[in-house]
Structure 1
Amino acid sequence: MHIDVIRTEEEWAEMAAEWNKLLDNSITNVPFLRHEYLTAWWQHRGGGEWPVSELFILTGRDSDNNLLGIAPLFLSKNHAGDPALMLLGSIEISDFLDVIVKEGDLETFLDEILVYLAGPESPKWDYLDWYNLFETSSTLPALEKLSGKHNLHFQQERIQPAPYITLPTDFDEYLATLEKRYRHELRRKMRQASGYFIPVQWYVVEDEDNLEAEVDDFIEMMREEKEKDAFLTEEMVAQIHAIAKAAYKGGWLNLFFLKVGKEKAAGYFNFDFNDHVWVYNSCLARKFSQLSPGIALLGFILQDSIEKGRKEFDLMRGDEDYKYHLGGKDRFVVRATVRKASPR
């Protein structure tokens, strides 16, 4: 296996088809590693999170030039100010990241990467600083093993939970898995919305011509939460639009709204990818809070996902109570760092 470096957006764009093809069979197949997602992320550097950064994607190919591995990296200073190679998508808005490689090629690929990064063509770096890997990722034990081989220091730390729901084939069967009080509460809120004196309906955005306006509406409702309003800088708003467009064109955007009469009351910005539903963000109009439109809409989306045969409902990073009330089970994401024995 030989290692090549992608340092320009033009070179990267040419890889789109083979990138996503490899991802389909990779150890971690998540929407945040899709070519269209990461190029949208790079366009705005994660909503301005990494204004000073350089593209540094490492690829591994065999003697016939078949793509075997991708380390989607960029070079920047990490939050401690050290020169670091980070995973594209880091840190705040991409819930799950990893290298892109089949299980059988993983150790060889990582070994070749570490050899390359110790060589004369490597840029200046002190750390591999990789956030948001699943705690179960095969990358972690392989990287730990190879760090010892190359006289590097490996460290792993748990960052936060990322609850998920394994979906059964029937909505009533799903409801039966919930604690009694939460099952009754979800049913009550869904019935209340369905029987409200003003007509309530939910829909998913399908028309590309309306996408920008619908995302604008979503963002305006997000601003009703003080914390989200502070998050929504001009650059972050542009980032959200870019991700929405990329996911729509990729065929895996599910932008849901619940309307009360003619007014939007709640929304979910989800990804429908690889038989999983990924709950990326949400918004709520406070004036309709007595209707609990957010939980009601989430119930309708869960029901719709089960009817469509989706296998998993990922509630993403964070330990908010509602995730566990809906039956979420914890898994965790971690940060892995590889440090040179004597940082430069």
Structure 2
Amino acid sequence: MDVSVETPGPGLFLDEWDALARTSPSGVFGTAEWHAAVQKAYGDRGRAAVAAFREHDRLLGVAPFRFGSRPLIHDATLLGMGEGGYGLGDYAGILAAPGREGDVADAVVSWLAASAGWDLLDLQQLPPGRLTKALLESIRRAGLRSLVRRHNICHVIELPSTWAEYRSRLSPGARDWLERKPRKAERELGATIELIEPDRLIEEYRTMRRFQAQRFGGQPPERESKLAAVISAWLPVAYERNWLRMFRLRSGSRTIGVLLGYEYEDAFYFHSAAFESLGEGAKYSLGASLLAAALHYSIDHGLERFDMLRGHYDYKVRLGSEKRYNYRVMVFRDSLMGRGIEAALHIRTILKGKRPWRTELEGPLDVEAGSDDSDRSARAPEHLATSPVGVE
């Protein structure tokens, strides 16, 4: 298998890359466009390199990385994550053609092992599936010391073909919240739902961020600035590619709620949402109106999955979702360094009460029950508001 390394930019084998993303569990977060948007904001955080793996000129795999530095250490991280332990992308952007996951994983690990410029390899938000399993096996065969643990819970709803069938799966309380609450907002507030027009995407995204800040508090200015740069680059491109599905909830001329999502291949990706939590809107379950609109849209358009992405909230369970785990893997070029970091991480996880790191995967790599670092206090549906994009 041949490997070429390129710098992200316009025209970077976009059609071939997109074809791989459409067969990947990473979905829209595996696209070249998502990585280019993140690079717009984080291009100063290290050297970006996209490794393309081909066989007889056919693209079989893509591995987008950033090589940078932390105090006393050089690291390699996934390009679509930005920086930090939580990352911007909800799924990792390493891609492989179906049936060739093992070959691509071996090629990725061999390329990284031969590449200078890293002591620590940090793979975040690896989705469950054949490629993640193959990467873990390739790392082990290469003799590299590594640690792995469940990173976050994602909730996914497998959608039926009709709304009637979907609602029949729900409890009476969930049906009431998803149907009666929106009707109340429509009746008493004159609330209406519409897709946001392209010239108002950034403005309404800022409205959503303002609602989130009112409810959860703001982010540090530098982080907010980086996030704004990513979104300003991403939303127009996602709209142009016909992936963006951004809903606005209005009362008269006033925006009282915004939901950010994407339609990609056979799935709807629910990225983030927020609504008015002060004043008149605080008396209504506006989150129900936003989610009901997105779910109706997904079923009406024949989509197969409604992916609610990261974050473990009670309302996601009530809506009939299944838990799926993402994984985080740390790989060390030097075994002695790995042992030292492993000891430090062990102490840190004990002090913080988090799931411990392990040298081997605990249990099968698939849909499992349990808890992980993304578990938060369960909230009733009335308090629906996802965390800001990329912020735990």
Q: Is structure 2 residue 16 aligned with structure 1 residue 24? A: no
| Aligned-residue identity in percent | 24
Number of the residue aligned with 1:35: 32
CA distance in structure 2 between the aligned counterparts of 1:218 and 1:180, rounded to whole angstroms: 30
Secondary structure (helix, strand or coil) at the match of 1:306 reads helix
Contact (CA 8 Å) 2:21, 2:28: kept in 1 or not? no
Task: Give the partner amino acid of 1:94.
Answer: G
Which one-letter code corresponds to 2:100 in the other structure?
D
Deviations 1:41-68 (A, max 9, x none): 11112xxxx8521102211112x32222
Alpha-carbon spacing, 1:20–1:292, altered in 2? closer, same or farther (3 Å): same
CA–CA distance in structure 2, aligned partners of residues 327 and 228 of structure 1 = 31
Indicate whether 1:58 and 2:51 are aligned: yes
Could you tell me whether the CA contact under 8 Å between 1:151 and 1:340 is conserved in 2?
no
Partner SS for 1:315: strand
- Quick check: 167-176 or 254-263, which moved more? 167-176
State whether structure 2 residue 205 is matched by structure 1 residue 215.
Answer: yes
Query: 1:133 aligns to what?
Result: 126
Tell me how far 1:29 sits from its aligned partner: 4.6
Aligned to 2:149, the other structure's residue is in SS state: strand
Letter of the 1:329 partner, please give it: E
Gaps of 5+ in 1: none
Q: Is the CA contact (8 Å cut-off) linking 1:256 and 1:269 kept in structure 2?
A: yes
CA-atom RMSD in angstroms: 2.2
Tell me if structure 1 keeps the 8 A contact 2:78–2:122. Answer: yes
| Cα shift readout 1:229-274 (whole Å, capped 9, x = no counterpart) | 5586223222222221221122100110111122111110111111
Q: TM-score by structure 1 length? A: 0.88
Q: 1:109 aligns with which of 89, 92, 104?
A: 104
The partner residue of 1:243 within 229, 234, 237 is 234
**How big is the shift at 1:200?**
1.6
SS of 2:126's equivalent in the other structure is: strand
CA contact (8 A) 2:156 2:321 kept: yes
Give 5+ residue unaligned stretches, structure 2.
338-392
Q: Which runs of 4+ in 1 moved over 6 A?
A: none
2:388 aligns with none
Cα distance in structure 2, aligned partners of 1:57 and 1:285: 41
Q: Which residue of 2 aligns with 1:182?
A: 174
What is the CA–CA distance in structure 1 between the aligned matches of 2:93 and 2:336, rounded to whole Å? 24
Which secondary structure does the structure 1 equivalent of 2:135 belong to?
Answer: helix
Give yes or no for the alignment of 1:257 onto 2:255.
Answer: no
Deviation (angstroms), 1:278 = 0.8
Q: In the alignment, residue 322 of structure 2 is paired with which amino acid?
A: K
SS at 2:57 equivalent: coil
Residue-pair matches, total: 330
User: Counterpart of 1:303?
Assistant: 296
Q: Show CA shifts across 1:100-131 (max 9, x none).
A: 11132222222223333333xx2221232111
1:98–1:139 CA contact under 8 A, matched in 2 = no
Identify the range of structure 1 (331-340 vs 264-273) with the bigger mean alpha-carbon deviation.
331-340
CA distance in 2, matches of 1:147, 1:305: 38
